[in-house]
Amino acid sequence: MDTAELDALWERSTALFRRRQDEICSGLERLEQERGGTARFTEDVWRYTRGSGGGRTRVISEGVLFEKGGVNFSAVEGTFPEDFAATLPGPGRHFRATGISLVIHPRNPHVPTVHANFRFIAKGDGNEWTAWFGGGADLTPYYPVEEDARHFHSVWKAVCDAHQEVADYRAFKRACDEYFFIKHRNEPRGIGGIFFDYLRNELAATFAFVEAASARFLESYEPIVRRRWLTPYGERERRWQLIRRGRYVEFNLVYDRGTLFGLRTGGRIESILMSLPPLVAWEYNFMPEPGSAEEKALQLLQPRDWV
């Protein structure tokens, strides 16, 4: 890809991700308002100090529905460290990266945490660039419900099926199950979704897929939130939620590519770590009681064909 081609796709991708941030924040605020809350996203505009560009970090906190959530947009240019550049496709060390990344942590333990991100990255030197799309979405319920898992996966399967030339739901689901797995715990983080990276071929068709997929995020999550937001809970469920959030933190700090990418490229720390929940718990050698709802929850997290 030459620089002119990159410039055109970069502009389209940047505009897309900026627009999606606006749409998703508006949709989530609407849910918070319908639940009776007054919390709204606050915006923090920042500049990338190791190159050019910057982003908009939007965070909602202390809501009736959403205890904490963040929806990030960024578009930056810079130079990779030499050792990190060697791990990525293509020649050169100069990069451009734009995308949207979000993590939402609801207050009610029966409403799942959700994560999604869509990104466009280019790496090159001079007039020769290698570019790719990546992203996906996954659901982390504390008390999984099969109806919710089927809905979440059915939305992502439908959008993949509509773009079969570049998107393979089965492959993306399998990649998601493998990626969002906490190896040192030997357990899944949640019930998966789709995950893809380094999609370098047919970039025009891949852009169309990313455009369509990012438009479906609210559809994948909103009905689940509405079904669960009035489910009663007490101290037991809250304790379980905080323990499972600890697993979420472990994954993000040890394995998550987006977190590691941001840290290795000198990204803005507050924006990188906005994905972490506000409260977590680690209890030594905690094991759910046999036959409990918590034990059943762990069993339901095992990868399966949801649709």
Element (H, E) at 55: strand 52-61
How far apart (Å, rounded) are the C-alpha atoms in residues 269 and 271? Answer: 5
Q: Which of 105, 115, 151, 163 is catalytic?
A: 115
Q: Long-range pairs for 245-249 at CB < 8 Å and ≥24 separation?
A: 245/105, 245/113, 245/277, 245/279, 245/280, 245/281, 246/280, 246/281, 246/282, 247/182, 247/185, 247/187, 247/189, 248/113, 248/140, 248/189, 248/276, 248/277, 248/280, 249/276, 249/277, 249/280
How far apart (Å, rounded) are the C-alpha atoms in residues 50 and 220? Answer: 36
| Closest C-alpha among 74, 64, 94, 70 to residue 82 | 94
How big is the chain, counted in residues?
307
Q: Is 115 a catalytic residue?
A: yes
Residue 279, token pair as written in the block = 């409260």
Contact 121, 188 (CB under 8 A): no
Residue 193, token pair as written in the block = 């979704």
Active site residues: 115
